[in-house]
Amino acid sequence: MLLAEVPSLDDVHVVLRLAVAAGLGAAVGFERELRDREAGMRTHLLVALGSCLFTLISAYGFHDFLASGDTVVRADPSRIAAQIVTGIGFLGAGAIIREGLSVRGLTTAGSLWVVAAIGMAVGAGFYWAGVATTALTLFALGPLRILGHSIIERVRPEENRVIIELAADHSVEPLLAILPEIHQLEVEDQRDRRIVRLELDAVDDALIAKLTDLPSVVGVRWQK
């Protein structure tokens, strides 16, 4: 391989790719910030930015070394970037929290993994792939979530389903102590309260009264 054949990137395009990666990562993080999730706009921005920089270093960072002689050393430009795929898993694991029977943070961990891929795509010059992935990610986190809930509400039978609103940061353990057999439990943390969705073996007025009397319970909805 000749010297002229060694790939390089000028400073303007380096800054452009870093800026685009940071912007796309911030867009995904802003949605997470609105929902008050564990990782917000700054975290997603930094993940995308770092992934982009690692990709740039891996592909173009050793140009002077590779082109130091009449012939160049063959090198794999993906070696550094490939470590992002496994390395980002440690950061995503930190966003996952287990509380009793519920697990929080899986979606945020997934979004961190995706923005790392977005940063890598932009760093490699696949701008449209990064933009398209960002758009699809925002669709999955927003409209698709709403659409999925509406479909589930229609398909899943309403009988024996209870929706309980708890004050923010209150544990679900007092609920589990008085509830009968639970078929399904979902916990969603919102900014000012915690929503617990339950599917029970049986529901009656006496059970609803017990739930309502709990000091941490703000409200109970039950479809007879």
Per-residue pLDDT of the chain (224 residues; tens, 9 = 90+): 444 455 677 789 899 999 999 999 999 999 888 877 767 899 999 999 999 999 888 878 766 555 555 555 566 666 777 788 778 877 777 767 665 445 667 888 888 999 999 999 999 889 999 999 999 999 988 888 777 666 766 665 555 678 888 887 777 777 777 777 777 777 777 777 788 888 777 777 777 788 888 888 888 877 65
Count structural domains, the chain.
2
State both tokens at 214: 């709990």
Do 117 and 53 share a domain, yes or no? yes
Do 63 and 105 share a domain, yes or no? yes
State both tokens at 77: 């430009």
Closest CA to 27 of 138, 139, 140, 128: 138
CATH of the domain at 202: 3.30.70.260
Do 109 and 161 share a domain, yes or no? no
The model's pTM: 0.66
- Residue finishing a domain among 128, 148, 168: 148
Which amino acid would we find at residue 169?
D
Do 192 and 135 share a domain, yes or no? no
pLDDT of residue 135: 95
Domain that holds residue 29: 3-148
- Residue finishing a domain among 98, 114, 148: 148
pLDDT of residue 35: 77
Do 17 and 76 share a domain, yes or no? yes
Which amino acid would we find at residue 160?
N
- Residue finishing a domain among 85, 114, 148: 148
Label residue 128 exposed, middle or buried (CB < 10 Å: 0-12, 13-18, 19+).
exposed
Do 42 and 129 share a domain, yes or no? yes
pLDDT of residue 3: 45
Do 65 and 110 share a domain, yes or no? yes
Do 94 and 162 share a domain, yes or no? no
Do 50 and 106 share a domain, yes or no? yes
